[in-house]
Amino acid sequence: MTLKSVLILCFLATAALTECSAFVPHSLSTRNNSVHHTFVLLGASGDLARREIYPALWYLYRDGHLLRKTEIFGYARSALTIADIRDRVAPFIQVRPQEEKLYNEFWSLNRYINGSRDADTDYDRIDRIVSESEENETEANRIFYLALPPATFPSTASQIKRACMAKKGSTKVVVEKPFGRDSESSEELSEHLKALFTEDQIYRMDHFLGYEMVQNLLSLRFANRMFSPSWNKDNIAAIEVDFKENFGIEGRGGYFDSNGMIRDVMQNHLLQIVSLVAMEKPVSVDPDDIRDAKVELLKKTRPIVLDDVVIGQYVANPESADPRERIGYRDDPTVKNDSITATFALTVLKIDNERWTGVPFIIRAGKGLNINRTDVIIQYKNVDHDLFDGQSQRNELVIRRVGKTEALQAKLTSKTPGITSDLERITIDFDYTKAYPDLQNPGAYERLLLDVFRGTQLNFVRSDELSEAWRIFTPALHEIENRKIRPIEYKFGTTGPVEADEMEKKNDFL
């Protein structure tokens, strides 16, 4: 058996472990569950609801994962009907001809209520309508999904606690990021939620934790003996998590311009990936054991310092053939003309523990770049006492996501075929879409909403994780803002500021 065959079999085994949902003890099919569930979507008329939440609920229903006795209530200020909501959702949902009857059944589970964001009478009305639907049930659970602006979280949560808690079962509250702007505001929100709900009732949604590539990190690390001996500072030179978007904000500057790339992606999504890559082996696959391991890793991570940060902002690229790339960040009408918000950031994390001391963890993220892709790159050190006159190149393990396609790659040094002693780099590639051409891989929101219904919090952020994440990023964020540091300009459609590449080299990432 060739080396390539061995590695492909290893990757196939890893992927299979993930596809079998090794870390979720429940049966995949939940349609026959006899417990009544009410799902209340607050902010039902918004962008997140129509693009992500309603489609995810439909796909769960289509595939037999949504609980049989489920009712869905959309709530928003707009005077709409459920037919209006259905029309708004239609562009973001795929329905095959043979699914039309099932699709109509799904919408029969849905109702819409309109009302204000914080009036007592409106939340009393939500409770009355939901209670009427539960009247003949012996057990009835409630899920409240806050697809709302962050400023409304405290008042909405207070109203849920005051008027809408389940009378015959459990209550769960799902909160979308951002969870604050810094340590102080995050702690204030956490304390407010803790005063209302227990930790096992709060589901802090970070949709990156629902991606296949992220969920596969546990399998890859702890189900493959070949990686364990080398997963440490003695063998690894550097690790990079690289998030690239080849589009700009495209009229969505209202939220982004007040937050920037570090808050939008790095402090949450990418730091979660780092914690899964770097944490010690958990005691078990119980959600709290895994989250305990992540928190312990984050506690050993130093706060970032400005000397280890590069920030940038994309500008128009007049030479580009793509009209989108000829529009700079500050040219967007939803962005202030003098904005110094970073659309690109690179920083270096340093972890002080026995496994990782001295290994830089580089996290890099940007909009307006040359490609749309997320990579986790584990780059190994150079070979000691190289026998091949410097021809050996560093090994790399790459976990990649491009659009909805996931891949695993191993980059090795091998002899060039033929009558020669030359060496070259080869790439051994496992592509999910090629290995599983008929697989309907669920989206991130499908996976995470199913976790909420099942009551498993493995893929949700715990309050102590959140606190440690903000501890790491808050000092540098405040310094950037207080000193009004201007980001380095880079052209739309390029790889970002050259200074970021120099920072990588400085930290031994080649």
The helix or strand, by DSSP H or E, that contains position 171, with its residue range, turns out to be strand 171-176
The whole-angstrom separation of Cα 173 and Cα 237 is 42
Position 2 pLDDT exceeds 90:
no
The tokens describing 69, both together, are 């006795």
Write out the two tokens for 440: 């309907």
Q: Which pLDDT value is given to residue 4?
A: 47
Radius of gyration in angstroms for the set of CA atoms belonging to the chain, rounded to a whole number: 24
Count of residues making up the chain = 510
Alpha helix stretches (DSSP H) within 71-182: 82-89, 100-108, 120-133, 153-163
What residues act catalytically? 269
Domains of the chain: 33-176 (3.40.50.720), 209-442+462-507 (3.30.360.10)
- The tens digit of pLDDT for each residue in 172-209 reads 999 998 899 999 999 999 999 999 999 999 999 999 99
Bridge partner list, 309: 347
Residue 255 reports pLDDT greater than 90: no
**Is the bond preceding residue 25 a cis peptide, omega within 30 degrees?**
no
Q: What is the DSSP letter of 299?
A: H
Q: Give the separation between CA 453 and CA 451, rounded to whole angstroms.
A: 5
Strands 396-402 and 405-415: antiparallel
Hey, is 263 helix, strand or coil? helix
- The identity of residue 401, as a single letter, is R
Q: Which of 292-301, 347-356, 418-427 has the lowest mean pLDDT?
A: 418-427
Closest CA to 254 of 150, 176, 325: 150
Whole-prediction pTM: 0.90
Predicted pLDDT of residue 171:
98
Please report the pLDDT score of residue 17 as a whole number: 41
User: Residue 161 and residue 196: Cα distance in Å, rounded?
Assistant: 6
Residue 145 parent element (H or E): strand 140-146
* H-assigned helices in 327-462: 432-435, 444-454
- Alpha carbons 257 and 255: distance in angstroms, whole number: 6
Collapse the DSSP code of 234 into the 3-class scheme (helix H, G, I; strand E, B; otherwise coil) and give the result. coil
pLDDT band, very low/low/confident/very high, at 22 (cuts 50, 70, 90)? very low
